Structure 1
Amino acid sequence: MTESSHPTDAVRLSKRVAQQFQCSRTTAEQYIEGGWVSVDGQVVELPGARVASAQSVVLAPDANPMELTPVTLLLHKPPGYEAGLGLVTGATHRAPGAHGSRSQGAPQAVALLNAQSHLPEDAAGTRVLLRHFKQLECFTPLPTEASGLVVYTQDRRMARKLQEDIETLEQECIVEVAGQIADGGLQKLCHGLSFNGRPLPPIKVSWQSETRLRFALKGIRPGQIPAMCEAVGLSVRAIKRIRIGRVPLAKVPQGQWRYLQPWERF
Structure 2
Amino acid sequence: MAWTRTYEEAEPQRVNRWLAQSGVCSRREAEALIAAGLVSIDGEPVADPGRKIAQGQTLVLADQAQARLEGQLTVILNKPVGYVSGQPEPGQTPAVRLLTRKALFGQSDDIPGPDRRLAPVGRLDMDSRGLLILSEDGVLTKAVIGPESDMEKEYLVRVRGEITERALGLLRHGLALDGRQLRPARVTLAGDQRLRFILKEGRNRQIRRMCDLVGLSVTDLYRLRIGPLKVGDLPEGRWRPITPAEREAMLRPQALPAKPPRRRPGTRRP
TM-score scaled to structure 2, two decimals? 0.60
- 2:79 maps to which of 77, 80, 84: 77
Aligned-pair CA distance for 1:167: 4.5
Match of 2:151 in 1: 169
1:21 is aligned to none
Distance 1:163 1:192, change over 3 A: closer
Q: Indicate the RMSD between aligned Cα atoms, in angstroms.
A: 2.5
User: How far does residue 105 in structure 1 lie from its aligned partner after superposition?
Assistant: 2.5
More displaced stretch, 184-193 vs 72-81: 184-193
CA distance in 1, matches of 2:136, 2:73: 6
- List aligned pairs for 1:58-69, cutoff 5 A: 69=71
Q: Give the drift of 1:160.
A: 4.4
| Unmatched segments (≥5 aa) in structure 2 | 1-66, 251-270
2:192 paired with 1:210 = yes
Q: Which residue of 1 aligns with 2:228?
A: 246
> Greater CA radius of gyration, 1 or 2?
1
Identity %: 33
Say whether the 8 Å CA contact 2:183–2:201 is kept in structure 1.
Answer: no
User: Matched residue of 2:102: which SS?
Assistant: helix
2:102 is aligned, of 116, 122, 140, to 116
Deviation at 1:153, TM superposition (A): 1.7
Contact 2:130 2:224 in 1 (8 A): yes
**How far apart in 1 are the matches of 2:164 and 2:114?**
48
- Are the structure 2 counterparts of residues 203 and 115 from structure 1 closer, same or farther at C-alpha, using a change threshold of 3 Å? same
Distance 2:151 2:79 in 1: 19
Q: Which runs of 5+ in 1 are unaligned?
A: 1-65, 85-99
Q: Aligned letter for 2:177?
A: F
Cα distance change on mapping 1:179 and 1:139 into 2, 3 Å: same
CA distance in 1, matches of 2:85, 2:149: 17
**SS class of match (1:187):** helix
CA distance 1:231–1:130, shift in 2 (3 Å):
closer
- Aligned mate of 1:259, from 207, 230, 241: 241
> Could you tell me whether the CA contact under 8 Å between 1:166 and 1:219 is conserved in 2?
no
Which residue of the partner structure matches residue 186 of structure 1? 168
Count of residue correspondences:
181
Alignment of 1:83-94 (within 5 A): 83-84=85-86
> Any idea what SS the aligned residue of 1:184 has?
helix
Deviations 1:172-204 (A, max 9, x none): 111110111245211221112222222222110
TM score, norm. by length of structure 1: 0.61
Amino acid at match of 1:74: I
Distance 2:148 2:197 in 1: 16
Question: 2:216 aligned with 1:230, yes or no?
Answer: no
Once residues 133 and 256 of structure 1 are traced to their aligned partners in structure 2, the CA distance between those partners, rounded to angstroms, is: 20
Q: Show the 5 A alignment for 1:5-84.
A: 69-84=71-86
Q: In the aligned structure 1, how far is the partner of 2:213 from the partner of 2:143? A: 34
